[in-house]
Amino acid sequence: MADTVRHICGISGGKDSSALAVHLRDEVPDMEYFFCDTGAELPETYEYLTRLEVILGKPIIRLNAHRGFDHWFEVFRGTLPSPQMRWCTKNMKIKPIEAWVGEAPAISYVAIRADESNRKGYISTKPNIRTRFPFIEGGIDRDGVTRILEDAGIGLPTYYEWRTRSGCYFCFYQRKAEWIGLAERHPDLFERAVSIEQKVLRDAGFDGDADFGSAAMRGRQYTWSGGETLVDLLSRRDEILERHETAMSRAGKARSNVPLIEALAEALDEDDDTVPCTVCAL
């Protein structure tokens, strides 16, 4: 029927949205789960989604089958997405969701936790899409999310060993230590990110290490990580990891028995505490 309300739950590949999907599995049996696939996700994310589908007992619909990052990168003439120009979120997340929902009335369930109610997730401006926050309504915090995933037998995505946010492997919100983690665990993806960055620099008229360094200082219009190219970042590997280990140790001492993921998050926030795009990272 035309007035049937659709129930939709977006999954980013992160712990919070995954826990929400499990939490709502029995409460909303006609839930439609979806994942906006940019074509540039971590292998761990795809593996986790496959495991999650088994737990949910239904498929997670993939959006963006034909228009991922490569397509939009060409549309925007080789301009890198950045905190100031998040064309990736708009074109690979929000627009596909709203096109998929269409004009049907829908309730969108968003995984903002009770301990972070000041954050914002995807909230559509379309009048036919209403938003609910079940974790806030139920008082479910970070520990509650962890329990949901553990009780379901799925646990956390394995990328949480070195990275605290889901999203594209080259996401510009990554902290320096996370870029090093990508280089060590997925050197092929790191090299691909380097190639994209260097193409942008060459197309902008920069040529050679000196020019690349000058461009990096001009901001993230030309580089993935603010203030330096990925090649320069990797050359500082030991320095970055030493600083990261010191921050990890400091976080552990400040709060005894702190879970690894929280210590990791606090250590990485010392590098860069910029709040990521929650459409991608919940």
pLDDT digits over 208-248, tens only? 676 666 666 565 568 898 889 999 999 999 999 998 888 87
Is residue 25 a contact partner of residue 146, using CB atoms and an 8 Å limit?
A: no
Q: Does residue 1 carry a pLDDT above 50?
A: no
* More confidently predicted of 195 and 116: 195
Q: Give the number of other CB atoms < 10 A from CB of residue 218.
A: 12
User: Which domains are seen in the chain, by residue range?
Assistant: 6-161 (3.40.50.620), 176-281 (no CATH)
pLDDT digits over 249-279, tens only? 776 665 555 555 554 555 555 455 455 555 5
pTM: 0.83
Q: What is the pLDDT of residue 273?
A: 47
pLDDT digits over 31-84, tens only? 999 999 998 999 999 999 999 999 999 999 999 867 888 888 888 887 888 888
Q: What is the pLDDT of residue 227?
A: 81
Q: What is the pLDDT of residue 186?
A: 97
Residues 83-87: contacts with CB under 8 Å, at least 24 apart: 83/172, 83/173, 83/220, 83/274, 84/220, 85/221, 86/277
Q: What is the pLDDT of residue 93?
A: 87
**Residue 9 burial by Cβ neighbours in a 10 Å radius (0-12, 13-18, 19+):** buried
pLDDT digits over 90-108, tens only? 888 888 899 999 999 999 9
Q: What is the pLDDT of residue 206?
A: 81
Q: Is 101 left (phi over 0), alpha (psi -120 to 50) or beta?
A: alpha
Q: pLDDT tier at 132 (50, 70, 90 boundaries)?
A: very high
Q: What is the DSSP letter of 167?
A: S
Q: What is the pLDDT of residue 92?
A: 87
pLDDT digits over 166-198, tens only? 889 999 889 899 999 999 999 999 999 999 999
Q: Is 122 left (phi over 0), alpha (psi -120 to 50) or beta?
A: beta
Is residue 154 a contact partner of residue 55, using CB atoms and an 8 Å limit?
A: yes
CB-based contacts of 208, cutoff 8 Å, min separation 6: none
